Amino acid sequence: MSRTLLVTGGAGFIGSNFVRLIRRDRPDWTVTNLDALTYSGNLENLADLEGDAKHRFVRGDICDADVVRHLMSECDVVVHFAAESHVDRSIQDSGPFIQSNVLGTQILLDVARAANIDRFVHVSTDEVYGSLPLDQPELKFTEESMLAPNSPYAASKAASDLLVRAAHHTFGMPTIITRCSNNFGPFQFPEKVIPLFVSNLIEDKPVPLYGDGLNVRDWLHVEDHCEAILTVLERGAPGEVYNVGGDNERSNLELTHEILRLMGKGDDMIRRVQDRLGHDRRYAIDSSKLQSELGWKPTRSAWPDALEQTVRWYCDHEQWWRRVKSGAYREYYENQYQGLV
């Protein structure tokens, strides 16, 4: 069935990978891509789609109800990525997180209901479940786990999840929520740990490791995440939540050692810096519902190969991250790392 999609946040890391996947695997679908081009939105992420008649980029804010209303009148499905996405920035200033993640989602939902949208996929995060202990490795987040967000970012995402849930419960809207673990792959903004560490090492700068480095994340390749979103869009049940994860848990120290090894650098490049405030200890996702009910499984996430390809991508695309790391990024970096790295 041919679809007309409104993708929000499609100039960011995951959104741009998703738009590319749709244009490749669903060539008869049409995509309108609404993105405000905040600091993390980048049209260079979509350069290969220039001139594609089935991809239309619109610069605009999801909080602008008039723009959203106009675009939704021409679409039948919404896939909602647009958000402030970096935990450290939410600790510095949570205002933009409430504005885009909470208010923006409410505006999209209200307009989508009036426009009778066929399906509304809300892209959320495992961070809404809070933190797991290190000493109980058998514990993982399921869709029934309690929401216990710990950072302002996670709290804003949990609030948006609850608005989406309420839109289904109260108005019968055909909403679906996905909650995914940490993504890696091409076009990730270099404030996030993997592109930050790789680009620092290329510049021969040390890498800032928070606290004891034992915090654990569950890493999934961005294309596996995008395929999961496409799967729930086509086959998911309205009102449901689907966890998405890679079964690929690593401590930050293990991740750092792996990156150092791949780049031929030594442990002397590690700078231990002050821990992130409220730093969640461990995330681990049980994605068996998505796997058994909808038949999704990750195919691109296995380490060390997948990590090596990602490291190589940043080595091969120096111009891309060098442009991103200039300008306003420098101010953020100074503020975050206080001249330590």
Q: Catalytic residue positions? A: 126-127, 153
What is the C-alpha to C-alpha distance for residues 36 and 189, in angstroms, rounded to an integer?
A: 16
> Contacts with ligand DAU in 27-46 (CB under 6 A)?
none
Phi, psi of 188 (to 5 degrees): -85, 135
At which residue do the structure tokens 């244009």 appear? 23
For ligand DAU, the binding residues in 268-327 under the rule CB under 6 A are 276, 283
Q: How far apart are CA 254 and CA 214, in angstroms?
A: 8
Of all residues in the shown chain, the one whose CB is closest to ligand NAD is: 12
* CB neighbour class for 207 (10 Å; exposed up to 12, middle 13-18, buried from 19): buried
| Binding of ligand NAD by 310 (CB under 6 A) | no
User: Which tokens hold the place of 285?
Assistant: 């996702």
Window of 3-11, 201-209, 262-270, 307-315 that interacts with ligand NAD by CB under 6 A: 3-11
**Nearest alpha carbon to residue 220 among 32, 6, 14, 65:** 14
210 makes contact, choosing from ligand DAU, ligand NAD, none, with CB < 5 to 8 Å by partner type, with ligand DAU
Query: For residues 41 and 206, which CB has a smaller minimum distance to ligand NAD in the complex?
Result: 41
Please tell me whether residue 123 binds ligand NAD under the rule CB under 6 A. Answer: yes
Which of 182, 196, 185, 189 is CA-nearest to residue 309? 185
Q: Is 189 in the site for ligand NAD (CB under 6 A)?
A: yes
| Per-residue mark of binding to ligand DAU, 75-114 (x: CB under 6 A) | ----------xxx---------------------------
DSSP reduced 3-state for 277: coil
Binding piece for ligand NAD, criterion CB under 6 A, among 87-95, 131-139, 175-183, 199-207: 175-183
DSSP state of 186: T
Q: How far is the CB of 78 from ligand DAU (least distance, A)?
A: 19
Contacts of 288 (CB under 8 A, 6+ apart): none
Q: What is the contact surface with ligand NAD in residues (CB under 6 A)?
A: 8-9, 11-15, 35-38, 40-41, 61-63, 81-85, 100, 104, 123, 125, 157, 180, 182-183, 189
